Amino acid sequence: MLVVAAVIVASAVTTMSNGNHGLTPAEIARIDIEKAASVSPLRGRIVRIAEGEVGYRTDPANTYCNKYSAYWVSGANDCGNSNLDEQWCADFAAWVWQHAGATVVYAYEHGDLNASSASFYEWGVARGTWHSVGSGYSPEPGDVAIYGLDTATLVAQHAAVVVAVTPGSRGPDAVNGDGDRTGFSVVEVATDEYRADISPTKAAPLSGYVAPS
């Protein structure tokens, strides 16, 4: 899996997310959770858990050592603590779904979820919950957005948890595991994330969404 940077929005910008001018990030998160819960209790829990992880940073700093990969017992055991070391945007998304009560089978077989962002695509295809951009699907909070997907090679650049969808936006508001815009390898929020940055000069376009079950 390739890691990508995720945008965290400064307070002045974040307060305008979803058209909620003047609200704090915490207030916007509460609104996102309430909107998601109105769709389904599961989706409300996914958004609440994802929002609650914003600000988490790897330990040691400047490594990929993280608690989400350790939860799945996936990655290198070279952190010097209870964390495990691997690029972890998909591990984070699977962790959020699992803790919210969504169906998750984490294993390294085709059709299971794992550290590969493309595993969410395979999971969704196998269960009929994959929706490509342009299919007419309206994303919902709690979905996982996939970026930079190559279906021929089964490689994707990034996975992020959708927390809100603003009408007229090109992409969702999403919580990203393994972001690095504000510091190496953190959990961050992005608004209108129609592209996920993977380097200063390249970006991965939004490919589609996987709905939880």
- Give residue-wise pLDDT tens across range 170-181: 999 999 999 877
Are the beta carbons of 113 and 123 closer than 8 angstroms?
yes
d(CA 148, CA 118): 9
The answer to whether residue 174 sits within a structural domain is yes
Residue 4: inside a domain, yes or no? Answer: no
- Domain membership of residue 3 (yes or no) is no
Residue 156 lies in a domain: yes
Q: For 44-63, what is each residue's pLDDT tens digit?
A: 999 999 999 999 999 999 99
Identify the pLDDT of residue 62: 93
Distance CA 30, CA 72 (A): 28
On whether residue 64 sits in a domain, the answer given is yes
Is there a domain that residue 37 lies in? yes
* Higher per-residue confidence, 16 vs 60: 60
DSSP 189: E
**What gap in Å lies between CA 138 and CA 74, rounded to an integer?**
33
Q: Tell me phi and psi for residue 38, to 5 degrees.
A: -70, -20
Query: Quick check: 152 pLDDT over 80?
Result: yes
Do residues 123 and 112 lie in contact, with contact meaning Cβ atoms separated by under 8 Å? yes
Q: How many structural domains is the chain composed of? A: 1
- 1 within a domain of the structure (yes/no): no
Instruction: Compute the CA torsion angle 119, 123, 129, 130 (nearest 10 deg).
Output: 30
What is the per-residue pLDDT across 115-148, written as a single tens digit (0 to 9) for each? 999 999 999 999 999 999 999 999 999 999 999 9
Domain enclosing residue 176, as ranges? 11-210
6 in a structural domain = no
**What is the rounded distance in angstroms from the CA atom of residue 73 to the CA atom of residue 67?**
9
